[in-house]
C-alpha cells in the first residue's frame, strides 16, 4: 500500500465515523428514543451519548485535515495545484467544524445544566437546538462526501 493510499484510508475512516455517526444519531437513535423513552430518560440518554460520540468527532476533526493536507502534498503538488473538489472539501469542512463547535461549546452546556437541575422543559429545548444543528451538519457532510467522491467541476 502506498503512503498516499494509507492516508486516504485513514481520511475515509474519519469521514465515515463523523458523517455515519450523525446519520445513526439522527435517523435511527433519535426516533427510537422518542418512541421508547419518557423525556427524563431520553434527555439522560442523549446527555450520555453526546460526550462519547464527540470524542470520536474530535479525532475526525484532527485526522481529516492532517491526512488531507498530507495527501495534497503527496499526490497533488501542494496547495498551489489543489483541485477544485478539494477546495470545496476544505470549505465544507470549515462549515462542519463551525457547526460542531457550536454544539460542543454553546449548546451542550445548557443541556448539561438542565439535566443536572432536572429541568426537563429546558432540557427539551436545548436538545431541540442540538438536533437542528446536527441535522444541518449531517446535510453538509453528505454533500461533502458527494463532492469528494463525485469530484464535480463547474
Ligand atoms: C481540511 C480538510 C480536508 C482536506 C485538506 C481534504 C483533502 C482531501 C484530499 C487531498 C483527498 C484526495 C482527493 C483525490 O484523490 O482526488 C480527499 C479525499 C476524500 N475526502 Fe477529504 N479533505 C478534507 C476534509 C474532508 C472531510 C471533512 C470529509 C468528510 C466528512 C472528507 C471526505 C473525503 C472523502 C470521502 C474522500 C475520498 C474521495 C475518493 O477517494 O473518491 N474530506 N480529501
Q: Please work out whether the CB of residue 93 comes within 6 Å of at least one atom of ligand 1.
A: yes
The C-alpha cell that represents 35 in the structure block: 418512541
pLDDT tens by residue, 6-54: 999 999 999 999 999 999 999 999 999 999 999 999 999 999 999 999 9
Q: Please work out whether the CB of residue 149 comes within 6 Å of at least one atom of ligand 1.
A: yes
- Measured in Å, residue 101 CA sits from the centre of ligand 1 at 20
pLDDT tens by residue, 105-138: 999 999 999 999 999 999 999 999 999 999 999 9
Q: Please work out whether the CB of residue 141 comes within 6 Å of at least one atom of ligand 1.
A: yes
Using CA of residue 16, residue 18, residue 23, residue 24, what is the dihedral sign? positive
- Measured in Å, residue 145 CA sits from the centre of ligand 1 at 8
In this structure, the number of other CB atoms found within 10 A of the CB of residue 67 comes to: 20
Question: What's the burial of 111, exposed, middle or buried (CB within 10 Å: 0-12/13-18/19+)?
Answer: buried
Amino acid at each position: 500500500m502506498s503512503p498516499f493510499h494509507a492516508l486516504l484510508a485513514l481520511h475515509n475512516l474519519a469521514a465515515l465515523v463523523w458523517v455515519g455517526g450523525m446519520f445513526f444519531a439522527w435517523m435511527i437513535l433519535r426516533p427510537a428514543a422518542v418512541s421508547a423513552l419518557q423525556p427524563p430518560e431520553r434527555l439522560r440518554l442523549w446527555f450520555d451519548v453526546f460526550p462519547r460520540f464527540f470524542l470520536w468527532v474530535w479525532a475526525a476533526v484532527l485526522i481529516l485535515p492532517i491526512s488531507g493536507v498530507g495527501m495534497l502534498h503527496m499526490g497533488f503538488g501542494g496547495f498551489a495545484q489543489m483541485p477544485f473538489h478539494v477546495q470545496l472539501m476544505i470549505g465544507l469542512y470549515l462549515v462542519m467544524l463551525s457547526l460542531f463547535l457550536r454544539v460542543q461549546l454553546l449548546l451542550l452546556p445548557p443541556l448539561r445544566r438542565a439535566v443536572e437541575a432536572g429541568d426537563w422543559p429546558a432540557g427539551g429545548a436545548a436538545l431541540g437546538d442540538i438536533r437542528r444543528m446536527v441535522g444541518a451538519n449531517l446535510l453538509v457532510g453528505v454533500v461533502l462526501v458527494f463532492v469528494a467522491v463525485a469530484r464535480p467541476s463547474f
